[in-house]
Structure 1
């Protein structure tokens, strides 16, 4: 049986837009869609509800049940893709722990970039950050001005940051699959920097240390991509600068940005790294964080 694609919903507009996107993704993958509402509170009171929920409740927004949240989300997914199997669940617990546990039996987790917390829109909330840092499966956070669609992306491009894992990179394998599903170009990016202590003032040697690091980056990129299917349209690119800055710039012309996050057995704190942390907060497109095992 195929593992489901799990979406965390909370009644906010970003979470329902995540349902749209995930329904497309589930249809492409041919997997079930599972919609989960996780909260210690049975009812929500506030004014940050999605329009669909307000309509469902005839304009009454003072009290919203968890069942109403998942009912509206399921109806929205079914209208978008009637052929996708949809299931729902309400879990009376903290969303961080519930979604991480759900990820153990999911092909991926999908989250809106911001829920009903009232946080600044540019920053990812604590739930998304914690889930991305601890989940055993890829976590896709729908940042930026995505158009709620997977197949017909604006740019037709999936960007992946290439680290030191080479052909053993789970993030690269994930990016290859996503690009193939979408019929998109895969752009593999390797960032490089020339340490300040390697520079020289000799006029005949200016630029040589930098050129060496650039060549090493290109060689690393080639080795990592040697098993990419020949039929996939592939772009290779090296860029000077910190990896997080290079990838943030690339996100402005991508429909999906894929990065790896190292997982260390026995480690309790956040396991993201600076690059994944930065793109989750500031990328201009959806971000997939893929766990990398030692």
Structure 2
């Protein structure tokens, strides 16, 4: 049984953009698309006179939303199999549960206002921090198509122990499906306090840090297919800043997020959290076992 790509829909422009993006992704991968509307509408019903049909109205509206999203997906990619589901529960919990049987979860980015667009909606943060599969959040001003553009590429943030990581595999697969280059980015930091007794040794610790970063990039790319165009970037600075800069010329930014067994809070890490809030392109957060 093929795992579907799940999209959280709520009728907003952002969620419809997510439907478009996920539909193209499902077509690329040849997998089904699952559209999910979740809302705990019971909290609105029943206590005020004349509100007896609140739940029925909410459910009908929800069904209209997923039906409209399904029609949109069919028009965009007629060959993609589409299913829908309306769930009476909080959307973040529903989508985290859905992630257990999904190839990926796709969400639109919902800032709180035009002024604070960089702020991410709580549903997206919660799902990205707890999901069992990759979560793609559609950030930035890019269009809603999964296709190569003039400067499109997939950017991979290379973290510790990159060899064989889920994020590396996902990034390589995405670049191959899209037919675009893969750029692996690793930031390095100059040691804060270096004491050396010989002037010829000045700069040696920084050189070693840069060399280690280059070696980690090579480890990350060692299993990439020969026909995939690869770019290797090592840059001095904070990892978040390096990835945000790379996101300006990317169609997708891929980062990993460690999942610690028995830990039930958000498990994003500072770098993943930062790029989710500020990247200029869609961001894929891929869970990594600790």
Q: State if a TM-score over 0.5 links the two structures.
A: yes
Aligned to 1:190: 186
Aligned to 2:121: 125
- 1:190–1:239 CA contact under 8 A, matched in 2: yes
Aligned to 1:174: 170
Please state how far the C-alpha of 1:281 moved relative to its aligned partner.
0.4
Task: Name whichever of 149-158 and 248-257 sits farther off.
Answer: 149-158
- Corresponding residue SS for 1:104: helix
5+ residue gaps, structure 1: 45-62
Please state how far the C-alpha of 1:43 moved relative to its aligned partner.
11
- 2:183–2:231 CA contact under 8 A, matched in 1: yes
Aligned to 1:246: 242
- Corresponding residue SS for 1:65: helix
Regions of 4+ moved over 6 Å = none
1:70 is aligned, of 60, 63, 66, to 66
Task: Name whichever of 269-278 and 217-226 sits farther off.
Answer: 217-226
Please state how far the C-alpha of 1:156 moved relative to its aligned partner.
2.3
- 1:43–1:66 CA contact under 8 A, matched in 2: no
Aligned to 1:49: none
Aligned to 1:106: 102
Aligned to 1:141: 137
Aligned length: 276
Task: Name whichever of 148-157 and 134-143 sits farther off.
Answer: 148-157
- Corresponding residue SS for 2:145: coil
- 1:38–1:94 CA contact under 8 A, matched in 2: yes
Cα RMSD (Å): 2.1
Alpha-carbon distance in structure 1 between the residues aligned to 2:222 and 2:228: 12
Please state how far the C-alpha of 1:160 moved relative to its aligned partner.
0.2
Q: TM-score, normalised by structure 1?
A: 0.89
- 1:199–1:209 CA contact under 8 A, matched in 2: no
- Corresponding residue SS for 2:132: coil
Alpha-carbon distance in structure 2 between the residues aligned to 1:214 and 1:137: 32
Please state how far the C-alpha of 1:203 moved relative to its aligned partner.
4.5
- The answer to whether structure 1 residue 12 and structure 2 residue 8 are counterparts is no
5+ residue gaps, structure 2: 45-58
Alpha-carbon distance in structure 1 between the residues aligned to 2:249 and 2:163: 25
- 2:171–2:254 CA contact under 8 A, matched in 1: yes
Aligned to 2:52: none
Please state how far the C-alpha of 1:224 moved relative to its aligned partner.
2.3
